[in-house]
Amino acid sequence: MAKIIVLCCLIIFAAFGSVNGSSKKQEVGFYELKKGDISMKFTNWGAAIVSLILPDKHGKLADIVLGFDSTKEYQTNAPSFGALVGRVANRIGGAQFTLNGTHYKLIANDGNNTLHGGPKGFGHVVWKVKKHSNEGHSPHIVFTYYSVDGDQGFPGALIATVRYALIGNNQLSITMKAKALNKPTPVNLAQHAYWNLNGHNSGDILSNVIQIFGSQITLLDSHLIPTGKFESVKGTPYDFLKPHPIKSKINGLANGYDINYVLDDGVGYKLKRAAVVHDPKSGRVLELSTNAPGVQFYTSNTLDIKGKGGFEYKPFAALCLETQAFPDSVNHPNFPSTIVSPGKPYKHYMLFKFSTN
């Protein structure tokens, strides 16, 4: 049996490259999807969303995703613009965890912590383009990545896939899957697009009106690591249970928003509403649903980088809504488990609906 497992791993190993780094031999490029009023671009570096263009309430087109003009810039993508981040998105405290009695030390890249899977996490590698079709009712693209046992310190070999599809009327479907091949391992994939519904080069998002369907947040320590406790948002600057402009509450915080919301009815994995964002100037509306238990709301608090067309992206130039498992779940037994085992694959869905009002 052991020989069979080794042989299977070697076959997969050969299909995806002898080591993670061998995927760098693949060409990094841009890929496009179009349907109705929406057109999108992607790159296989980090399986990232590069752009999403759609009309405003007056029919004027704009690109509402922050990003870069060249594939070379994506290969030094410090903010993780549009990337599919993992093996474990968000932070793991102390860059370490214990699983089934074995202690694992990860590569720290956020002080003493691991952020978005480490310095060579899934957002900083080349993915294989498995499928790409602009035909039919749901134009789509599928990226895959093979992560070796020990990648960034994580146990076990893993195959990750993400499928982006344009469906229905101005809707984007994202399906993330992962299979553990030989060992249990933590998995928490997240899509890290930076959204500005008025256009990527239009300034800040502080006038956006947002509603987040989470009654609690996971409390953080001074290093942005969860304490394991939960707190009600009511009466705090985190309360967006009813729609409010971001600027109406952000002054109550030291640096802006970077927090995980516990989605209501979010312990299970049924599809549920996560957030609605409305930009009054353009009239564009983003509605997000997911099967994940949480969503990270981030307002690009320290952003300072040159992006598309040479435009300078500054703090609050965009917002991120990263549906996810709770941060640092591997070190908090009271959080929903992120452990994926052979035969029990990981599935994570996101549905974006775009409209105007």
Q: Which pair of tokens denotes residue 313?
A: 């992206």
The torsion region of residue 271 among left (phi > 0), alpha (psi -120 to 50) and beta comes to beta
- 46 and 127 in contact (C-beta within 8 Å)? yes
- 192 labelled binding-site residue: yes
Q: How far apart are CA 354 and CA 331, in angstroms?
A: 36
Element (H, E) at 71: helix 71-74
For residue 277, give every residue at least 6 positions away whose Cβ sits within 8 Å of its Cβ, in sequence order, or none.
195, 197, 208, 209, 210, 211, 285, 286, 319, 321
- 132 and 120 in contact (C-beta within 8 Å)? no
- Catalytic entry in 192, 200, 332, 348: 192
Separation of first and last alpha carbons in the chain:
60
Indicate if 58 belongs to the active site.
Answer: no
Indicate if 231 belongs to the active site.
Answer: no
Element (H, E) at 97: strand 96-99
- Catalytic entry in 124, 200, 278, 322: 322
- 90 labelled binding-site residue: yes
Q: Which pair of tokens denotes residue 36?
A: 């109705």
264 backbone dihedrals φ, ψ, rounded to 5°: -60, 135
CA distances from 322 to 3, 85, 86, 133 (A): 40, 10, 12, 26
Annotated binding-site positions for beta-D-galactose:
90-91, 192-194, 258
Which active-site residues does the annotation give? 192, 322
